[in-house]
Amino acid sequence: VKKGLKDYYKAYFPIGVAVSPRNLTDSAQQQMILEQFNSLTPENAMKMRPIHPQETTYNWRDADAIVNFAQAHHMRVRGHNLCWYKETPDWIIHDKDGKLVSKEVLLSRLKEHIYTVVNRYKGKIYAWDVVNEAVADGGDEPLRNSVWYQICGEDYIFKAFQYAHEADPKAVLFYNEYGTESPVKRERVYQLLKRMLDAGIPVDAVGLQAHWSVNNPSQEALIASIKRFSSLGLKIQITEMDVSVYTNPYGDITDADFTPEREQKQADLYAMAFKVFREYKQYISGVTFWNVSDKASWLDNFPIRGRKNYPLLFDQNLRPKKAYQGVINF
Ligand code: XIL
């Protein structure tokens, strides 16, 4: 049997990948997933809008397919996610007349959602991203001014963790966020987590999404994040790793080539990051990539629709790239 990432990292942490059911039914990808990874995250299937499109309708098909595949192949599953401003279905925030609901109604709907989803996969999903991206990037307000925040203040964050813990006391509960390598955002996330811990909220861990690029983050910034969050006694996972080949993914919008120079910079960043993860393995309990290969990445449509990115360790033909070598050579 071929040696894969999960084997190289056996003494460190599980190596995961985000998938849709289609990744699993394609036989070449399926084989590769089984060789390389020992953990799965549903890339979209468990988000609130797809899994719970109407108040009385749950759509379990895709989520079940991923969990069943994992069970059949002895892989672990991270649930993603229970509450995210971007995949909030209209029915949960509006009443029948189209007006925003009260805090009481929103929280009771959130509770029903979390109880139902967490309970269905109890014992099969070992960790949940409970709340995703609740902290603001800039501005004066530390918390994102989402409709959840407008209706509930920060209570919805606290309550979401309580509901998830009630539904499955054994699940490891994560707050998941991007951009925590920037000092301002890191501090905002830290303060939120600290308030939760001080209030006795059952938060166990922090997920660093790690949607990075060839020149970001620096080693210092990455280490600073790991140290800051672990000082709270929380576990850390890298939950959505990919490394955009664009120096400024939001800026150089027309320059869309995977040049040898970019390939090298990407390999360097991956090598640096994994060296840090290995050095800090006592705090890092998992690393997950955000999809399988450069064949299809969400970055091909974000922030620019149709601009190809090449952010993963495997190329469009599922062959390991230079970045892969940087991750396994140690
Ligand atoms: C992305 C998926 O990869 C896309 O397929 C989907 O269209 C939008 O969401 N942060 C997260 C993930 O927490 O859920 C997002 O996933 C990427 C950014």
Among 163, 152, 89, smallest CA distance to 130 is for 163
Looking at residue 256, its pLDDT comes to 73
d(CA 21, CA 191): 37
Nearest to 130 by CA among 114, 119, 116: 114
Q: Answer yes or no: is pLDDT of 241 > 80.
A: yes
Q: What tokens does 13 get?
A: 């942490």
Residue 240 Cβ inside 6 Å of ligand 1? The answer reads yes
> Ligand 1 centre from 97 Cα, in Å?
31
Task: Assess whether the C-beta atom of 298 lies below 6 angstroms from ligand 1.
Answer: yes
| Integer angstrom CA distances of residue 83 from 36, 157, 245, 259, 303 | 29, 8, 30, 38, 22
Q: Decide: pTM greater than 0.95.
A: yes
Distance from residue 40's CA to the centre of ligand 1 (Å):
15
pLDDT value for 252: 66
| pLDDT single digits (tens) 160-170 | 999 999 999 99
- As a whole number of angstroms, the distance between CA 259 and CA 303 comes to 20
Q: Could you give the CA distance from residue 37 to residue 40 in angstroms, rounded to a whole number?
A: 8
Read off φ and ψ for residue 133, nearest 5 degrees: 60, 50
Residue-wise pLDDT for 135-178, tens only, equals: 999 999 999 999 999 999 999 999 999 999 999 999 999 999 99
> Where in the sequence numbering do the catalytic residues fall?
133, 240
Residue 132 in contact with ligand 1 by CB distance below 6 A = yes
302 C-alpha to ligand 1 centroid (Å): 9
Residue 290 alpha carbon to ligand 1 centre in Å: 8
Which of 290, 300, 305 to probe ligand 1 with, by most ligand atoms within 8 A of CB?
A: 290
Instruction: Tokens 């999960």: give the residue.
Output: 6
Is any ligand 1 atom within 6 A of the Cβ of residue 239? no
Q: Is the pLDDT of residue 235 over 70?
A: yes
Residue of the nearest CA to atom 1 in ligand 1?
298
Q: Would the pLDDT of 251 be above 80?
A: no
| Ligand 1 near 43 CB (within 6 A) | yes
Q: Residue 219 belongs to what H/E stretch?
A: helix 219-230
Q: 247: CA distance to ligand 1 center in Å? A: 20
- Residue 102's SS3 state is coil
Contact between 212 and 249 under an 8 Å Cβ cutoff? The reply is: no
On average, the pLDDT of the chain sits at 97
* pLDDT tens digits, one per residue of 28-71: 999 999 999 999 999 999 999 999 999 999 999 999 999 999 99
Mean pLDDT of 14-25: 98
Residue 144 backbone phi and psi in degrees, to 5: -60, 135
Cβ of residue 215 lying under 6 Å from some atom of ligand 1: no
Three-state SS at 85: helix
